[in-house]
Amino acid sequence: MKKFKLAMIIATMTLVAVSCGSKNTQKDEKPKALVLYYSQTSNTKIVAQEIAKSLDADLEEIVPLKPYDGDFDATIARCLQEREQGIETEIKPIAADLSKYETIFIGYPVWFGTYAPPVATFLKQTDLSGKNLVPFCTFGSGGLVSSSKDMAKAQPNAHIQPGYGVRAERLQAVPKEVDQFLKAGKYIEGEYNDPGDFTEQHPVTEEEAAIFDAAVKGYKMLNAKAETVGERAIPEGKEYLFIAVDLPREDAPDMPPAGMMKVYVTVANGEAPVFTQVVR
């Protein structure tokens, strides 16, 4: 009998240990994130898929009932008309159970300085109070900062986290930049190469002005003159933060200049300068 009782005690203790271990494992597991995005030309979709793959996150597309399937000019014309008439873009219901997610990555192309209309509709129709919202976007020149501010206004009770933005012409940089972005935000583990702060702004030299001009050359929506600059070292070369003044555009001489702006320029080792984003 003593041996039987001892065996029963050992078996019970083993079951308790296994049960506790199982509970601890479940407790330590991070809930999945949701990557929710709208993409007209697949540029934002590329970023969304990269983020979802890196996080092993759930992925869903925001789909308008009436797609924006025209070319650039047609899309701009439709957006202007909708804005003037106060038309809200209708979207299909979101399939995901949003209550399951603490963190939602929200992606979009930047139109008119902010997120595209289908995302505006989603944010207007959905209460995301208490959730961590991580914006990411694709753009011609910029819009991450302005669209993030608009998201904070649309969802005042959510926690808007630092976001990621990339120019459509730089999609080849997405895998590496997304990896560093997710590591910087501690969404995934790994070494983040923190570039540190830029040096203090100083008047541009002729050489620095030439770097700026080479970076923005050919982009017709940006006609500016660099006035001051700061810099910092990055693993692949050097990054500049130019403060520039907007000049009249040749293709739109009647359009008033927008004023001062920040222009970020990267010069990778052995490569031509490229601007990565503009903050107006």
Residue 16: its pLDDT value, please? 42
Give me the helix-helix angle, 117-125 and 144-154, nearest 10°: 30
Cα dihedral sign, 232-235-236-237? positive
pLDDT of residue 252: 63
Model pLDDT, residue 73: 87
pLDDT, position 258: 65
Contact (Cβ atoms closer than 8 angstroms) between residue 192 and residue 183: yes
Residues in the chain where the model's pLDDT stays below 50: 1-28
Distance CA 142, CA 262 (A): 10
pLDDT at 143: 97
pLDDT at residue 12, as a whole number: 47
**Backbone phi, then psi, for 150, in 5-degree steps?**
-65, -35
pLDDT of residue 19: 46
Q: How far out from the chain centre does Cα 88 lie? A: 23
Which pair of tokens denotes residue 235?
């693993």
**CA of residue 139 relative to chain centroid, distance:** 10
Separation between Cα atoms, residue 117 and residue 95, nearest integer Å: 19
Asked if residue 262 lies in contact with residue 223, where contact means CB atoms within 8 angstroms, the answer is no
Q: Which long-range contacts (CB under 8 A, 24 or more apart) does 269-272 make?
A: 269/236, 269/237, 271/237, 272/214
